[in-house]
A and B are shown apart, each in its own frame.
With several copies, the nearest count.
Chain A
Amino acid sequence: MKKLINAVDNVVREQLQGMAVAHPDLVKVQIDPHYVVRADAPVKGKVALVSGGGSGHEPMHGGFVGMGMLDGACPGEVFTSPTPDQMYECAKAVDGGAGVLFIVKNYTGDVLNFETAAELAHADGIKVQSILIDDDVAVKDSLYTAGRRGVGTTVLAEKIVGAAAEAGYNLTQCADLCRKVNSYGRSMGMALTSCTVPAAGKPTFSLGDNEVEIGIGIHGEPGQRRMEMKTADEITEMMALEIITDKAYTRTVREWDNDQGVWVDVELVDEPLKAGDQVIAFVNSMGGTPVSELYAIYRKLAEVCQSHGITIARNLIGPYITSLEMQGCSITLLKADEEILRFWDAPVKTPGLRWGV
């Protein structure tokens, strides 16, 4: 394993310290328990957005803390969900009285730990809502799996709901918008190489010179299937079609009822994309794939969308939700209505995403 790190046990802490010295104007970093909050937190009267998850996906989530996006982020160990006390402390640090929205990627670890955190925060009198992101079409059914993983749509949701919170949406409105964004977003990823978890010291899986993993998540885990290497056009078309032709997706998720202080099961249905839809297209690098290759992907993606009557209204191209140094990419298409586009275009000022200001 060759990485620009010091002792493996200090990897996450030192990266956070680097972020703290680099961006004191944007974020404050708390070490032990680890969390990142915007420099001006808590923002009085504004709904606070908190996300978190394992480290190794940078710039997500810490790099998305700042004006117009997240109020707080809780980084766990590499690829390991953070713990409830991090989330709880972070929620206390950012709550400006209007409540806290947890944006949770659907992984067993993240879900279980955020559940405990929501209970702790609620017990403390903080208004909490929690929305699950589960957009990965590579996971086909939810009955025989832990359900679709939360991947690319997370970045777009954090941007869009962040702008809504900034614009004065209340907690329920933010939660509703976040649920909508999740239900409008679909993603699919692939890997050319594995990544190496620092503490593990060797690649999580190994791929032949002529093999790729299709339908991967973001934790260096093997994908849905392994196949022979193909051209960028073929891979792009394959992934875009899985997204575009994905059927309605129904599953039951646990949501927090803040009034009752209990978890309730709700059934959610995502409707498929259809001709005539506008989308935000997000082509993401898994960390080790350079942006130049993403443009080749985007070129073909635009073609496939067009041939299915789907209009790309906005795009985002680059490494935003990564798996350490893994080579590969993911594609996210998010159906975008006027509300979503308006908040997408709103100013954002974070270490990892910035425009309009």
Chain B
Amino acid sequence: MSVTREQIVTWLEKTAVVLDANKQYLTDLDAAIGDADHGINMTRGFTKVMEKLPTVTDKDIGNILKTVGMTLISSVGGASGPLYGTFYMRAGTAVAAKEELSNEDLAAMLQAGVDGIVQRGRAELEDKTMIDAWFPAMVALKTAVDNGDTITGALQKTVAAAEQGMKATIPLKARKGRASYLGDRSIGHQDPGATSTHLILNALLETVQEGN
């Protein structure tokens, strides 16, 4: 089993669609504990990605992902721009020159991307950021791949872990990003970045499920 270049492209397209569909939702989450722009930021970024994508769909996966990262960095701004941008840049570097990805490649790609986010943003688990979704998702994928799960099975566990991590941000008190200024008032709200992370991973699962 493997993930093809075409599937990576489909994943990115699905991501653009799902973020757009959830633009208001993500922005509302950000209004509660941030500055009411996360959905707007992500849609602006992935609209640009969709403009750029046709120019690189014949390139290798590493190249495609790096283009996505650079596009996000230069069009999103805010905290999520450099963080998601770094994710795709590092993910792309990890799978440089590949035309399709084995399950192990996919796990390595996710790990490299998440490491990049942590290095840039210096968030730790339970700081109530996107890391609370990315990190358990990455661990779940690695474990499932190590256990020899199918790609679909592995990604189901990945998305489930991301969803759980996302929901687990609700009771947390934020320690990074704008939400941290609210102190206790951040408790009881779901982190917008963790929510977009879950949507992105779920788009990957759906892509792979359709391919089977």
Is there direct touching of A and B in the complex, by C-beta distance under 8 Å?
A: yes
Cβ contact of A109, chosen from B74, B77, B181, cutoff 8 A: B77
Cβ contact of A83, chosen from B37, B40, B76, B173, cutoff 8 A: B76
User: B164 interface residue, CB < 8 Å from A?
Assistant: no
Cβ–Cβ contact A113 & B175, under 8 A: no
User: A77 interface residue, CB < 8 Å from B?
Assistant: yes
User: A112 interface residue, CB < 8 Å from B?
Assistant: yes
User: A78 interface residue, CB < 8 Å from B?
Assistant: yes
User: B82 interface residue, CB < 8 Å from A?
Assistant: yes
User: A217 interface residue, CB < 8 Å from B?
Assistant: yes
User: B188 interface residue, CB < 8 Å from A?
Assistant: no
Cβ–Cβ contact B34 & A112, under 8 A: no
Cβ–Cβ contact B82 & A112, under 8 A: yes
**Using Cβ atoms and an 8 Å threshold, which residues of chain A touch B36?**
79, 197, 200, 204, 220
Cβ–Cβ contact B177 & A108, under 8 A: yes
Cβ–Cβ contact B77 & A221, under 8 A: no
User: A292 interface residue, CB < 8 Å from B?
Assistant: no
User: A76 interface residue, CB < 8 Å from B?
Assistant: yes
User: A37 interface residue, CB < 8 Å from B?
Assistant: no
By beta carbon, the residue of chain A nearest B43 is A199
A221 to B35, CA, bound (A): 5
Contact of A146 with B76 at beta-carbon distance under 8 Å, contacts A200-B37, A205-B31 already known: no
A200 to B31, CA, bound (A): 9
**Using Cβ atoms and an 8 Å threshold, which residues of chain A touch B83?**
112
**Using Cβ atoms and an 8 Å threshold, which residues of chain B touch A169?**
none
Cβ–Cβ contact B81 & A144, under 8 A: no
- The A interface is mostly helix, strand or loop, or mixed, namely loop
A205 to B182, CA, bound (A): 13
* Nearest chain A CB to B33 CB, angstrom units: 8
Contact of A224 with B183 at beta-carbon distance under 8 Å, contacts A79-B35, A80-B41, A144-B175 already known: yes
**Using Cβ atoms and an 8 Å threshold, which residues of chain A touch B33?**
221-222
Interface 0/1 of A243-275, CB less than 8 Å to B: 000000000000000000000000000000000
User: B78 interface residue, CB < 8 Å from A?
Assistant: yes
By beta carbon, the residue of chain B nearest A143 is B175
By beta carbon, the residue of chain B nearest A116 is B82
Contact of A81 with B175 at beta-carbon distance under 8 Å, contacts A116-B82, A220-B35 already known: no
**Using Cβ atoms and an 8 Å threshold, which residues of chain B touch A83?**
73-77, 81
Cβ–Cβ contact A219 & B77, under 8 A: no
Cβ–Cβ contact A109 & B75, under 8 A: no
A149 to B181, CA, bound (A): 9
Contact of A221 with B181 at beta-carbon distance under 8 Å, contacts A81-B77, A83-B76, A113-B82 already known: yes
**Using Cβ atoms and an 8 Å threshold, which residues of chain B touch A217?**
178, 181
**Using Cβ atoms and an 8 Å threshold, which residues of chain B touch A76?**
77-78
**Using Cβ atoms and an 8 Å threshold, which residues of chain A touch B182?**
221-222, 224
Contact of A77 with B44 at beta-carbon distance under 8 Å, contacts A108-B121, A221-B178, A222-B182 already known: yes
**Using Cβ atoms and an 8 Å threshold, which residues of chain B touch A80?**
35, 37, 40-41, 76-78
**Using Cβ atoms and an 8 Å threshold, which residues of chain B touch A79?**
35-37
Interface 0/1 of B15-39, CB less than 8 Å to A: 0000000000001000101111100
* Nearest chain B CB to A342 CB, angstrom units: 34
Cβ–Cβ contact A112 & B185, under 8 A: no
Q: Give A73-130 interface residues, CB cut-off 8 Å to B.
A: 76-85, 107-109, 112-113, 115-116
Contact of A224 with B181 at beta-carbon distance under 8 Å, contacts A76-B78, A81-B78 already known: yes
User: B79 interface residue, CB < 8 Å from A?
Assistant: yes
Interface centre among A78, A84, A221 (most CB of B within 10 A): A221
**Using Cβ atoms and an 8 Å threshold, which residues of chain B touch A144?**
173, 175, 180
A85 to B41, CA, bound (A): 16
User: A139 interface residue, CB < 8 Å from B?
Assistant: yes
User: B98 interface residue, CB < 8 Å from A?
Assistant: no
Q: List 17 A-B contacts (CB under 8 A).
A: A54-B78, A79-B35, A79-B37, A83-B76, A107-B178, A108-B79, A108-B178, A109-B81, A139-B181, A145-B180, A145-B181, A145-B183, A197-B36, A200-B31, A219-B35, A221-B34, A221-B182
A-B pairs with lowest CB-CB distance, top 10:
A145-B180, A219-B35, A112-B82, A109-B78, A108-B79, A109-B79, A80-B78, A76-B77, A80-B77, A81-B77
- Contact surface of A with B, Cβ cutoff 8 Å: 33, 54, 76-85, 107-109, 112-113, 115-116, 138-140, 144-146, 149, 197, 199-200, 204-205, 217, 219-222, 224-225
